[in-house]
A = this chain, B = another copy of it.
Amino acid sequence: MDVKTVCLGMLTDGEASGYDLKKNFESSFGHFFAAGYGSIYPALASLAEQGFVQCREIAQAGKPDRKVYRITEQGRQRLLEELDNPNPSHKVRSEFLATMCFAHLMTAEQIQTVLHNRIAEIERYMQLFDDFEASCMNESSGGMVFTVGLGRAYMNAMRGYIEEHGHMLFEAQETPKQNATA
């Protein structure tokens, strides 16, 4: 399951351009599947080449032609095959947690800053979830609703844990050497 497959899935909701899909990746998919233009445009080109999507160009004044993609029947079949995976992965890559493992090598201010920034980012995601529910809750599939709910649940758990247990990071500092920001 890569960016290509997710694009294909998004297109089951109706036609869209690469630009449109990017907005989708930012809003509803942002918390668990990031993708930039550098992945999306090549993905769409490749899908078109394989016959999984069809492209319709719409001329525009002063802007590049808008390229709108629509999923084909082969594309739908392909998507179903991908969705058949019984054990899709869920991977976390956290520099944040890696950093916190070594909190005893950091100053209290450094730790405080990192924690503060993490909570701020969590709040941003929470805002995204609120926006999503405010705007497109009615037209959304149960799957999307589930996804947003799960995002909210685990962001909430993280925030709660940090607020309740973050203090333990400040205990047992060993020789807080002066910062080597050089």
CB contacts (< 8 Å) of A63 on chain B: these are none
Minimum CB–CB distance for A44 against chain B, Å: 17
A174–B84 CA distance with the chains assembled, in angstroms: 16
Give the number of chain A interface residues (Cβ < 8 Å). Answer: 76
Main secondary structure of the interface of A (DSSP, over half): helix
Q: Is A60 an interface residue, CB under 8 A from the partner?
A: no
A37 lies within 8 A of chain B by Cβ? no
Given A33-B93, A90-B118, A161-B149, also A99-B1 (CB < 8 A): yes
Q: Is A81's CB under 8 angstroms from B180's CB?
A: yes
Q: Across the interface, name the chain B residue whose C-beta is closest to A166.
A: B146
> Which chain B residues border A126 with CB–CB below 8 Å?
none
Chain A 100-133, CB-CB to B under 8 Å as 1, else 0, gives: 1111111000100110011001000000000000
